[in-house]
Chains A and B, each alone.
Chain A
Amino acid sequence: MVATLGNDGFMRQVLAAGAVFPDFMLPSAEGRLVSLASRLASGPVVISFFRGEWCPFCRLMLAALTEALPQIEAAGASLLALTPETGGLALAMKTYHGARFEVLCDVDFGVGLAAGVVFRVPKLYRARCEAAGLSFPARHGNAAWCLPVPATFILDTDGRVAWRFVDVDFSHRAEPADIISALRQLGRQ
């Protein structure tokens, strides 16, 4: 899967530094509507895409971000974690980690698609998921069998991408230390 995505020019379609991240409003894990604009009004925003509660790499990343949150907030930024999972799974993911940041439901992959991070799960990987009893149609409420690559974006207060981390290998994630140092640099500009 990693090789397929790596070869087909996937990276070209992902929102690049300097691009404006489209404004959005999505439901939070607790059932509130959260808008990007309202977050940008109080500082830079870190947006991190997650594949889901079932993904062990996402769990590690969420744990790391939960730990790094005080430093992210100290840099004046807020953090939004986006997942395509529905039916209360976003809340389950948030509760499991005791996360204080917003976990938003990117229902039907709308924001992920606009950011260029959504791909269709290749057949072989899909067969493995199904064999493991992992039903994306049930979890997403959408039978497209898509996932986001776990990308992280830092947006400046104008909503422009100031920094991003994208790797089609889902085991590679943005390092919290890199996010914090990018935020500090943004603060100095």
Chain B
Amino acid sequence: MELSQVRYFITLCKTLNFTRAAEQCNVTQPAFTRAIQRLEEELGGKLLFRERSLTQLTELGRAMRPHLEAMLDAADAATALAAAKRLHTPGSLKIGLGPGIGAAAVAGAVREVAVALPGASIHFKESGPAALIEAMLTDMLDCALLPEGCDMPERLNRWPLYVDRAVAVMPEEHRLCARNAVTARDLLEETVIVGESCGGFAAQLAGITGYSLRLQSCNGAAAQMLDMVAAGLGVALLSNRLRIAAPLASRAFTEPELERRILLTSVAGRPLNPAAASFIKLCRAQGFGSLEKRLLF
């Protein structure tokens, strides 16, 4: 398929009018119609049907539109980013982080964007899934990292990025620090601190084991929860991708292993600025150390 054919088709999807779409693409209508026909031949069926003045997408047209739109955006973004670098156009990158999802895993990708586009402003927003989704839909955020399983509208693109595993976080002098790993049974004698930034690991644990854990609720940012752990309030189950520094320590949590999959999301069909588009590509290109074996032959 040709870039121009795809561009014509996406313009036609937006206008649903051959004459107007051809005008917008600066091409004669016969040439425009031929291009659409050639694309239909390649894709193996009609993309649109025309009834008098009415033009509508066929089922195939509707199915192909988001994929072709992504490809067209990718073609434009690859050149737009190169141009932005040449012309030193600063950009902005606004990333949402769901509960208990740190920026460490994507920090390398953010650095690359900032190096390629000097002057780009970087903005992180930590919040619950609903607030982040609302912010993406109203164009206040470019993309967000969200846990799988949260309520998402159809129009969000979602790509699996990595799997988070729970670790037990406690003060360095805590008795469980002497172990290589902490189990559910070990926690029966402990207070477990739970809050929004915990990633739901404690609830998952209670669901799997049926144990009634001694819970202490503590809401706020991850930093505040860690301060409470350091003060000896209890043990917290957090993502293994958060950076834990002295005087705290973390131990792998096993029996049962607690996991959650993290998705990268963005609003489908919305053109992104070069900084955001390249950030998403960088993230999607990577394996995050958890390349799924099922993909490898």
DSSP class of A's interface residues: helix, strand, loop or mixed? mixed
Chain A neighbourhood of B109, CB < 8 A: 31
> Which residue of chain B has its CB nearest to the CB of A132?
B297
A47 within 8 A of B: no
Mask: chain A, 98-127; 1 = CB below 8 Å from B; 0 = not = 000000011111110110101110110000
B25 within 8 A of A: no
Contact present for B79 and A24 (CB under 8 Å): yes
Assign chain A's interface to a size class: 35 or more
Binds B, one of A67-75, A89-97, A165-173, A180-188: A89-97
> Which residue of chain B has its CB nearest to the CB of A22?
B79
Chain B neighbourhood of A42, CB < 8 A: none
A146 within 8 A of B: yes
Chain B neighbourhood of A111, CB < 8 A: 74-75, 78
Q: Which residues 24-53 in A have Cβ within 8 Å of B in the complex?
A: 24-29, 31-33, 35-37, 53
B76 within 8 A of A: yes
Contact present for A142 and B79 (CB under 8 Å): no
> Which residue of chain B has its CB nearest to the CB of A13?
B2
> Which residue of chain A has its CB nearest to the CB of B115?
A33
A92→B292 CA distance, assembly (Å)? 11
Contact present for B71 and A91 (CB under 8 Å): no
A146→B288 CA distance, assembly (Å)? 25
B242 within 8 A of A: no
Shortest CB-to-CB span from A97 to chain B, Å, is 14
**Tally of B interface residues using CB under 8 Å:** 50
Contact present for B82 and A23 (CB under 8 Å): yes
Contact present for B67 and A144 (CB under 8 Å): yes
Contact of A141 among B38, B115, B284 (CB under 8 A): B284
Chain A neighbourhood of B81, CB < 8 A: 24-25, 33, 35
B152 within 8 A of A: no
A65→B230 CA distance, assembly (Å)? 54
B282 within 8 A of A: yes
Using known A-B contacts A31-B109, A53-B296, A120-B44, determine if residue A88 contacts B287 with beta carbons closer than 8 Å.
yes
Contact of A108 among B73, B83, B278 (CB under 8 A): B73
Chain B neighbourhood of A107, CB < 8 A: 74, 280-281, 284-285
Contact present for A88 and B86 (CB under 8 Å): no
Contact of A87 among B79, B82, B280, B295 (CB under 8 A): B295
Contact present for A143 and B67 (CB under 8 Å): yes
Using known A-B contacts A22-B79, A89-B295, A110-B76, determine if residue A116 contacts B287 with beta carbons closer than 8 Å.
no
Residue ranges of A at the interface with B (Cβ–Cβ < 8 Å): 8, 13, 22-29, 31-33, 35-37, 53-54, 86-92, 105-111, 113-114, 116, 118-120, 122-123, 133-135, 138-139, 141-144, 146
Residue ranges of B at the interface with A (Cβ–Cβ < 8 Å): 1-3, 6, 38, 41-44, 64, 67-68, 70-79, 81-83, 85-86, 108-109, 112-113, 115-116, 159-160, 278, 280-282, 284-288, 291-292, 294-297
16 new A-B contacts, CB < 8 A, other than A27-B278, A114-B78, are A13-B2, A87-B291, A87-B295, A88-B288, A91-B287, A108-B281, A110-B77, A114-B79, A133-B294, A134-B297, A135-B295, A138-B295, A141-B284, A142-B70, A144-B68, A144-B70
